[in-house]
Amino acid sequence: MIVDLPDTTVSKIARSLVNVREEGGAVALGRVLTLLIITTHGLEEEAIEAANDASREHPMRVIVLMTQPDGPSKLDAQIRVGGDAGASEVVVLRASGEAASNDESLVTGLLLPDAPVVAWWPDNPPTEPAASPIGRMAQRRITDAATKPYAKDRLSKLGPNHAPGDTDLAWTRLTHWREQLAAVLDQPPYEPVTAVEVVGSGSSPSTGLLAAWLRLKLDVPVDWRYARPEEWAHGIQRVRLTRASGDIVLERSNDLDATLTQPGQPSHDIVLPRRTLRECLAEELRRLDPDLLYGRVITAGWELLGPPDSPEGTT
């Protein structure tokens, strides 16, 4: 069910939510959190789709906020429930002019009572998410360094502006890589790693985050670089761990598979698919406490790492 509310107010939207539940049989029982999505026009549907899929694991109220400081003062809204909202209820807010001047006032009256708040910026996050009006309301704040604005120093900015509760989907995309590498090192011969190499796409901030994690956890030099775009276009390509008995190499050959090579063992093909936006969002919604490891990686690990071995687009 979709209900359009043109030129409305927050109080009218709240009343309409109650009416929709009463008339359509939708209930708010079991909603575990409020997810605030702050985005721009044209990108909202992908974010809503990911939230709807994630809501089957985390029933929630989703509030999508899009503001435009220009134009007449106006607030348009849309309520989606039932089949149009997965296991959530979705409120889409489009504010312009004076009505868009205060983000906090637009969403405060629509939050689920006594439920945690998670803020997600699919694109164009504030420089300091925790200090923003929406960020101050949230227990968790999710950004994505792989989206706009694109900047070569985007990872360098995450550490100085980090606050407990912040996380980034560029880090979440590394979960399976970290699991595979940890599993390999948890097997004999238990030799110390003496050097590390990480290679990935220049368009992927996950490359630097994986290198920073390995630098922090293994306390050894990490050489990392960006592959040429024509060699590797997306994500992590290869990790090499050097030990006395030989190198361990985990290398992705395509978007789905990777090959694990270890000394004295046959090569193994491993399923290592790229993670979807829905998977990453659902993982982040499983925990509402600060991700302490991410905080250490983006601050201490990044400071220890140093710059990549070569600039983007060169060898």
- pLDDT per residue as tens digits for the range 177-235: 999 999 999 999 999 999 999 999 988 999 999 999 999 999 999 999 999 888 888 89
The whole-number pLDDT of residue 82 equals: 79
Q: Locate tokens 């630098």: which residue?
A: 215
Alpha carbon distances (Å) from 188 to 95, 195, 219, 249, 264:
59, 18, 20, 16, 12
Distance of CA 188 to the CA centre of its chain: 34
Band (25; pLDDT cuts 50, 70, 90):
low
Q: Residues, the chain, total?
A: 315
Token reading at 178: 């970290």
The whole-number pLDDT of residue 305 equals: 95
State pTM to two decimals.
0.92
Report yes or no: 224 and 195 within 8 Å, Cβ to Cβ. Answer: no
Range in 153-157, 161-165, 277-281 with the lowest mean pLDDT: 153-157
Q: Is the pLDDT of residue 84 over 80?
A: no
Token reading at 70: 């220009």
The whole-number pLDDT of residue 30 equals: 66
Q: Is the pLDDT of residue 315 over 90?
A: no
Mean pLDDT, rounded, of the chain: 91
DSSP string, 181-200: HHHHHTSTT-PPP-EEEEEE
- Residue 12 CB coordination number (10 Å): 13
Q: Is the pLDDT of residue 147 over 70?
A: yes
Rg (CA), the chain: 22
Alpha carbon distances (Å) from 73 to 10, 98, 99, 229, 287:
14, 5, 5, 45, 38
Alpha carbon distances (Å) from 93 to 62, 99, 157:
11, 11, 29
The whole-number pLDDT of residue 277 equals: 95
The whole-number pLDDT of residue 311 equals: 46
The whole-number pLDDT of residue 312 equals: 44
Name the region of 235 (left: φ>0; alpha: ψ -120 to 50; beta: rest).
left
Band (314; pLDDT cuts 50, 70, 90):
very low
Report yes or no: 303 and 159 within 8 Å, Cβ to Cβ. Answer: yes
Q: Locate tokens 């699991």: which residue?
A: 179
Beta strand spans in 121-165 (E): 140-143
SS (H, E, C) 86-105: CCCEEEEEEEEHHHHCCHHH
Which amino acid appears at position 87 of this protein?
Answer: A
